């Protein structure tokens, strides 16, 4: 059984330098006790869309941090939609997804939020406090939405 005090993160990032910076940010967040609900993190980092989907099918994660610019990614939006579909098919409550954008694009960000992303963060503007808050809020929003998602799923099953 997973330790509820450890935040399990699937980091989908193909740029090793960015992945290293994010992992350093997680260490700083832990040192400054900015997680609130968790003592630490367990991070699984992958660099391809296919690997992310495979991980989501095999393991349970509390959150996905998703860079959309992946080498095996068809389009930015399609990458998100694929991961979102898998994240919600393997876990009745769903797994929140925070998108890590390489650059600001308000149109894409708005579309991602409408499609179910919990947040869209621009990597060059990322700070530890913002990252920690975004992750905490995303996990909490998904946790609160869980009972509604399960009720909707039961209704859909009964209607069939």
Alpha helices per DSSP H over the chain: 16-31, 49-58, 76-89, 106-115, 128-159
Indicate which CATH number applies to the domain containing 11: 3.40.50.2300
Residue 44 burial by Cβ neighbours in a 10 Å radius (0-12, 13-18, 19+): middle
Instruction: Render pLDDT for 118-127 as a digit per residue (tens, 0 to 9).
Output: 999 999 999 9
Tell me the angle at which helices 16-31 and 128-159 cross, rounded to the nearest 10 degrees.
100
* pLDDT tens-place string over residues 8-51: 999 999 999 999 999 999 988 888 876 677 677 899 999 999 99
Domain residues for the domain of 148 are 6-159
Query: What is the per-residue pLDDT across 39-85, written as a single tens digit (0 to 9) for each?
Result: 778 999 999 999 999 999 999 999 999 999 999 988 889 999 999 99
For residue 66, give the nearest of 127, 51, 42, 130 by alpha carbon.
Answer: 51
Residue 67 belongs to a domain: yes
pLDDT at residue number 127: 92
Helix axes 76-89, 106-115, angle to 10 degrees: 20
Examine residue 68 and state whether it is found in any structural domain, yes or no. Answer: yes
The count of structural domains within the chain is 1
Q: Say how far residue 57 (Cα) sits from the centre of its chain.
A: 14
Structural domain contains residue 1: no
């Amino acid at each position: 059984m997973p330790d509820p005090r450890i935040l399990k993160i699937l980091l989908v990032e193909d740029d090793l330098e960015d992945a290293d910076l994010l992992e350093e940010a997680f260490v700083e967040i832990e040192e400054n006790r900015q997680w609130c609900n968790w003592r630490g993190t367990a991070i699984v980092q992958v660099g391809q869309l296919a690997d992310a989907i495979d991980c989501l099918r095999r393991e349970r994660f509390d959150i996905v941090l998703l860079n959309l610019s992946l080498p095996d990614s068809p389009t930015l939006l399609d990458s998100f939609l694929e991961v979102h579909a898998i994240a919600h098919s393997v876990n009745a409550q769903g797994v929140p997804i925070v998108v890590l954008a390489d650059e600001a694009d308000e149109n894409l960000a708005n579309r991602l939020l409408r499609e179910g992303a919990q947040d869209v963060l621009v990597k060059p503007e990322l700070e530890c406090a913002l990252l920690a808050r975004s992750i905490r809020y995303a996990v909490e929003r998904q946790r609160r939405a869980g009972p509604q998602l399960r009720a909707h799923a039961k209704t859909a099953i009964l209607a069939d």
